[in-house]
């Protein structure tokens, strides 16, 4: 199926590694013009080189911090100028898992505020800056990358994904009449560049093999493995395309089947 992304212009935050980088690769492979941002110049340059090698397409890579409004506006302006406009926004800039993972008695409110500033307010900053460009074209897609912690307890930082789900539906209601669809993807446990070193550290801590660590992480997943970042990217590419015209305001899980609850 041709996703008709050949003339689309996409902006991806947190695009230098992990899920964001995979989305950039897939969109570029489908013919979209792509701009990414991140906070680390070296990582951005490496990502741009990797994407060029894999897809044959040059991308724009800009250092930006989504917790800073001026930085966001500068990035979006540079991307719109370079690409000739913006059709697609993928909000992805956030620390995986969040900063507040322990129990209440050890939770640091300042770390939670930092989580919310990055993943909730940060996504809002970027959407606010990009929306006028999408409106100008009368067509657009906004895809927020959340997380399955929105659907289960266990980590205080998970509340940021619940807030993002509400934000996604609110934007869908507001922007839908102007031709802009807004959805959120909730990835489950996802293999990225961090997975190998993290599993090795856990294996050493637990005195087990890396395979044992992976098996434990996969035990509650229907497909019995963690998903690959490209699998999230394939879903994002479909949602970014004109083929997804009937889908907006939705929260879509990409976790391989986690838990047994039924969600409407």
CATH of the domain at 247: 3.40.50.720
Q: Tell me, yes or no, whether 71 lies in a domain.
A: yes
Separation of alpha carbons 4 and 73, rounded Å: 28
Task: Report H helices in the chain.
Answer: 18-29, 41-55, 69-83, 109-116, 122-137, 159-175, 195-206, 210-218, 229-240
**Residue 219: inside a domain:** no
What is the phi/psi pair of residue 32, to 5°? -70, 150
Q: Which domain holds residue 130?
A: 9-188+226-254
Asked if the structure places residue 234 within a domain, the reply is yes
In a domain, 45, yes or no: yes
Q: Is there a domain that residue 217 lies in?
A: no
The predicted structure's pLDDT at residue 46 = 98
Contact by Cβ (8 Å): 126, 145: no
Structural domain count of the chain: 1
Question: pLDDT tens, position by position, for the chain (264 residues)?
Answer: 899 999 999 999 999 999 999 999 999 999 999 999 999 999 999 999 999 999 999 999 999 999 999 999 999 999 999 999 999 999 999 988 888 888 999 999 999 999 999 999 999 999 999 999 999 999 999 999 999 988 888 889 899 999 999 999 999 999 999 999 999 999 988 888 888 888 888 888 889 888 888 888 888 888 899 899 999 999 999 999 999 999 999 999 998 988 777 765
Does residue 56 sit within a domain? yes
The pLDDT score that the predictor gives to residue 194 is 80
* CA end-to-end distance (rounded Å), the chain: 28
CB 35 within 8 A of CB 83: yes
- How far, in Å, CA of 184 to CA of 143, rounded? 6
Say if 213 falls within a structural domain: no
Which distant-in-sequence residues (6+ apart) come within 8 Å of 55 by Cβ?
25, 28, 29
Look up residue 136 and give its two tokens.
């100008």
| Residue 105, SS3 per DSSP | helix
Residue 263: what pLDDT? 64
How much of the chain is in helix, strand and coil states, percent to nearest 5?
A: 50, 15, 30
What DSSP character marks residue 239?
Answer: H
Bridge-based pairing of strands 180-187 and 251-254 is parallel
**Does residue 196 lie in a domain region?**
no
Token representation of residue 78: 């540079």
Residue 219, phi then psi, degrees to nearest 5: -60, -35
How far is CA 243 from each of CA 2, 86, 182, 240, rounded to the nearest angstrom?
Answer: 9, 18, 14, 8
């Amino acid at each position: 199926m041709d996703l008709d992304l050949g003339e689309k212009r996409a902006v991806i935050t947190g695009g230098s590694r992990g899920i964001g980088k995979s989305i950039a690769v897939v969109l570029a492979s489908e013919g979209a013009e792509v701009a990414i941002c991140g906070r680390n110049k070296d990582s951005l340059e490496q990502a741009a080189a990797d994407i060029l090698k894999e897809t044959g397409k040059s991308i724009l890579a800009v250092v930006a911090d989504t917790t800073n409004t001026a930085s966001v506006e500068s990035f979006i302006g540079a991307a719109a100028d370079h690409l000739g406009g913006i059709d697609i926004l993928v909000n992805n800039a956030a620390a995986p898992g969040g900063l507040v993972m322990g129990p209440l008695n050890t939770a640091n409110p300042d770390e939670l505020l930092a989580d919310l500033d990055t993943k909730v307010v940060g996504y809002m900053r970027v959407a606010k800056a990009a929306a006028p460009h999408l409106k100008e074209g009368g067509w657009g897609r906004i895809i927020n990358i959340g997380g399955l912690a929105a659907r289960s307890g266990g980590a205080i930082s998970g509340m940021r994904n619940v807030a993002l789900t509400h934000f996604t539906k609110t934007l869908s209601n507001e922007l839908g009449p102007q031709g802009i669809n807004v959805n959120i993807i909730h990835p489950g446990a996802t293999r990225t560049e961090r997975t190998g070193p993290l599993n090795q550290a856990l294996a050493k801590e637990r005195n087990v093999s890396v395979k044992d660590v992976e098996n434990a992480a996969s035990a509650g997943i229907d497909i019995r493995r963690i998903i690959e970042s490209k699998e999230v990217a394939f879903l994002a590419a479909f949602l970014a395309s004109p083929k997804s015209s009937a889908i907006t305001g939705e929260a879509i899980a990409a976790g391989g089947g986690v838990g047994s609850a039924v969600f409407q």
